[in-house]
């Protein structure tokens, strides 16, 4: 224990001082950026309408929260994943771009990345948006899994009181409409109605009228989005320069796809009919059919001469895949379609792992992606890069996923894969401190910031009109 807490202390010392250095340094680094962009007219750094002020919060709202990373009785120790400013440890010593990333640390990843955003301002009065570096999901753990479970409606009150008492003018200027933050868990975990007695699940952060005006970036929104907008879950891929990024893209393009479809996940074990159960059934039966020469699937395999497997299941039960991307990335590189059935909630990080591997996602619910990630995955383009099979058709009407996927012509599959490869930069969080060439590609963070700025602009426009 002592050893562990010492490691955490050292880490916090490093991160704090690094943040301080960056903050102290920000005036000069902005100069450097401006000079560089001036000398390169192809990438003018135009900050108009894009200024962001990072609200100065006491460390109890962010860095202090990391000290308890091993202390939540019902929640796994997440201390190991704090490394590299929330990207986690590299998967192995010589790994270039792959880390053991835990999606809970998206708040840390955003915090680190926004420190190198080119249009930061110290003056809240000229800012178009105010970022709150609050680790909301990490702070929620004490309500979700800790001693404060019975006061989950208080999550966020301390923050609100701080915002209203310390330099209250920053909030009052636009009544919080220009404030945004990241909350690294599905919005469900923060939207327990205030009058639930006893509490069922979640904190009430997003239900508090105090926070109705803010914009929250979450990995999964509610079906009726209110304050929140969904952004991609972080995958394990965080390249730091163009060489590493392009090396991966080449690997994705060249990879031989020997499985028709792949499911990486758990569930579907029980007897209750659900989409995961159906997938398991099909995969088990599909393998059998593969061995019977008279079956239709066998014939298709023969005719195309490509797939050695119709269905591949990577069993990720008990969280064994979570911090071990090799387990599923290799099979995803070798599959044409990656199934994305809903689990406890409609969305999955695996959707973004699949896109990163060039594996065409198959969705069974609109809520799994299409109605969520509009900034990153344009809703009107879904047919170009994904397959949609309503889960009811599969679970209750006997539609076979294999039949649908085998019915897609190979030329169409090739086009879809090209579209998927083009999406890879949009869903990746590149490593902080990346090379300038890689920074010229918009990644998931850049697109999220653009989206937040636009949302805030629209809201302020509306507020002024009324
Ligand atoms: C960390 O846990 C200790 C007790 O284990 C508690 O006293 C302290 O308030 C916690 N700190 C934070 C920031 O939650
Ligand atoms: C929360 O409230 C329930 C019901 O009143 C009680 O059984 C439980 O012990 C409380 N939990 C904590 C951590 O105080
Ligand atoms: C939210 O904005 C509305 C006006 O749009 C304002 O009346 C209200 O007081 C604001 N809420 C907070 C907590 O500032
Ligand atoms: C990318 O980084 C690696 C390791 O630092 C280096 O060897 C390589 O030359 C870099 N590529 C570019 C284009 O900067
Ligand atoms: C797969 O096999 C199971 C049992 O072997 C059977 O209940 C199920 O109907 C089969 N499903 C399909 C789609 O053939
Ligand atoms: C199908 O064939 C493979 C190898 O040809 C064999 O390992 C597997 O057990 C067979 N499956 C069934 C269900 O017969």
pLDDT digits over 291-303, tens only? Answer: 444 344 444 443 4
Residue 96 beta carbon below 6 angstroms from any ligand 5 atom? no
Q: What pLDDT does 270 receive?
A: 82
Interval between CA 269 and ligand 4 midpoint (Å):
46
**Nearest ligand (C-alpha, residue 245):** 4
Say which CATH class 242-427 falls into: alpha beta
Looking at all shown ligands, the one closest to residue 213's CA atom is 3
Spell out which residues line ligand 2, taking CB within 6 angstroms.
147, 149-150, 198
Q: Which atom of ligand 6 is nearest to the CA of 290?
A: 1
Q: Is ligand 4 within 6 A of the CB of residue 241?
A: yes
Does 1 have pLDDT greater than 50? no
- The pTM (predicted TM-score) of the whole model is 0.87
Q: Give me the percent of the chain exceeding a pLDDT of 90.
A: 78
- Per-residue confidence at 33, pLDDT binned at 50, 70, 90? very low
Determine which of 190-199, 388-397, 404-413 has the lowest per-residue pLDDT on average. Answer: 190-199
Closest ligand (CA of 285): 5
Is pLDDT at 223 greater than 70 in this prediction? yes
User: For residue 209, which atom of ligand 3 is closest to its CA?
Assistant: 13
Interval 303-314 mean pLDDT: 80
Residue whose CA is at the smallest distance from ligand 5 atom 9: 281
Please, are residues 19 and 13 in contact by the beta-carbon 8 Å criterion? Answer: no
Minimum-distance ligand 1 atom for the alpha carbon of 71: 5
Q: Which atom of ligand 2 is nearest to the CA of 149?
A: 13
Mean pLDDT for all residues in the chain: 88
Q: Confidence class of residue 305 from pLDDT cuts 50, 70 and 90?
A: low
Tell me the average pLDDT across 341-369.
97
Residue 57 near residue 134 (C-beta atoms within 8 A) = yes
pLDDT of residue 267: 87
| Residue having the nearest C-alpha atom to atom 8 of ligand 5 | 281
pLDDT at 181 over 70: yes
Whole-number pLDDT of residue 287: 54
The ranges assigned to domains in the chain are: 2-235+431-465, 242-427
**Any atom of ligand 4 within 6 Å of the Cβ of 97:** no
Is the minimum distance from the CB of 242 to ligand 4 under 6 angstroms?
Answer: yes
455 contacts: CB under 8 Å, gap ≥ 6: 180, 215, 229
Q: Are 75 and 140 in contact (CB under 8 A)?
A: no
Contact (Cβ atoms closer than 8 angstroms) between residue 369 and residue 361 = yes
CB 287 less than 6 A from any atom of ligand 6: yes
Taking the CA of residue 400 as reference, the ligand 5 atom at the shortest distance is: 13
Task: Tell me which residues have their CB closer than 6 angstroms to ligand 3.
Answer: 175-176, 210, 212-213, 463
Res 87: pLDDT: 98
* Predicted pLDDT of residue 272: 87
Index of the ligand 4 atom closest to the CA of residue 435 = 14
Which ligand lies nearest the alpha carbon of 146? Answer: 2
Mean pLDDT of the 25-37 span: 35
- Site to substitute for ligand 3 among 170, 178, 212, most atoms within 8 A of C-beta: 212
Q: Contact at 8 Å (CB) between 330 and 256?
A: no
Q: What is the pLDDT of residue 106?
A: 98
Q: Identify the nearest ligand to the CA of 242 by its number.
A: 4
Q: Say which ligand is closest to the CA of 197.
A: 2
For residue 278, the CA-to-ligand 5 centroid distance in Å is 8
Residue nearest to atom 9 of ligand 4 (CA): 243
Ligand 5 in contact with 281 (CB < 6 A)? yes
- Averaged pLDDT, 2-24: 45
Residue 311 Cβ < 6 Å to ligand 5: no
């Amino acid at each position: 224990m002592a050893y562990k807490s010492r490691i955490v202390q050292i880490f916090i010392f490093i991160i704090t001082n690094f943040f301080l250095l960056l903050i102290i340094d920000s005036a000069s680094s902005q100069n450097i950026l401006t000079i560089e962009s001036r000398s390169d007219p192809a990438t003018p750094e135009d900050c108009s309408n894009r200024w962001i002020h990072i609200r100065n919060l006491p460390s109890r709202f962010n860095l202090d929260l990391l000290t308890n990373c091993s202390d939540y009785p019902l929640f796994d120790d997440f201390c190991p994943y704090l490394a590299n400013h929330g990207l986690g440890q590299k998967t192995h010593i010589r790994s270039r771009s792959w880390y053991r990333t835990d999606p809970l640390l998206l708040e840390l990843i955003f915090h680190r990345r926004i420190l190198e955003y080119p249009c930061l301002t110290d003056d809240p009065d000229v800012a178009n948006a105010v970022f709150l570096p609050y680790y909301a999901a990490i702070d929620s753990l004490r309500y979700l899994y800790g001693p404060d479970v019975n006061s989950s409606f208080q999550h966020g009150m301390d923050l609100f009181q701080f915002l209203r008492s310390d330099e209250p003018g920053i909030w009052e200027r636009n009544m919080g409409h220009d404030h945004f933050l990241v909350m690294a868990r599905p919005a469900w975990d923060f939207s327990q109605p205030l009058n639930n007695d006893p509490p069922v699940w979640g904190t009430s952060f997003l239900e508090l009228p105090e926070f109705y005006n803010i914009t929250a970036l979450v990995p999964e929104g509610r079906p009726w989005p209110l304050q929140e907008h969904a952004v991609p879950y972080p995958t394990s891929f965080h390249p730091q320069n163009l060489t590493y990024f392009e090396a991966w893209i080449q690997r994705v393009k060249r990879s031989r796809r020997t499985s028709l479809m792949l499911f990486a996940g758990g569930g579907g074990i029980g007897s209750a009919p659900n989409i995961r159960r159906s997938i398991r059934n099909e995969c088990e039966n599909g393998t059998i059919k593969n061995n019977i020469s008279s079956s239709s699937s066998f014939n298709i395999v023969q005719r195309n001469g490509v797939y050695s497997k119709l269905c591949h299941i990577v069993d990720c039960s008990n969280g064994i895949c979570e911090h071990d991307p090799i387990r599923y990335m290799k099979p995803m590189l070798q599959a044409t379609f990656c199934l994305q059935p809903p689990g406890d909630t409609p969305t999955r990080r695996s959707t973004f792992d699949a896109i990163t591997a060039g594996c065409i996602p198959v969705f069974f619910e609109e809520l799994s992606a299409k109605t969520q990630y509009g900034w990153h995955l344009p809703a009107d383009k879904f047919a170009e890069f994904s397959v949609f099979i309503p889960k009811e058709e599969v679970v209750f009407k006997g539609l076979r996923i294999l039949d649908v996927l085998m019915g897609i012509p190979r030329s169409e599959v090739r086009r879809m894969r090209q579209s998927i490869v083009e999406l890879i930069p949009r869903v990746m969080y590149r490593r902080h401190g990346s090379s300038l060439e890689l920074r010229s590609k918009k990644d998931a963070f850049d697109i999220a910031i653009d989206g937040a700025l636009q949302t805030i602009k629209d809201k302020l426009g509306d507020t002024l009109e009324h």
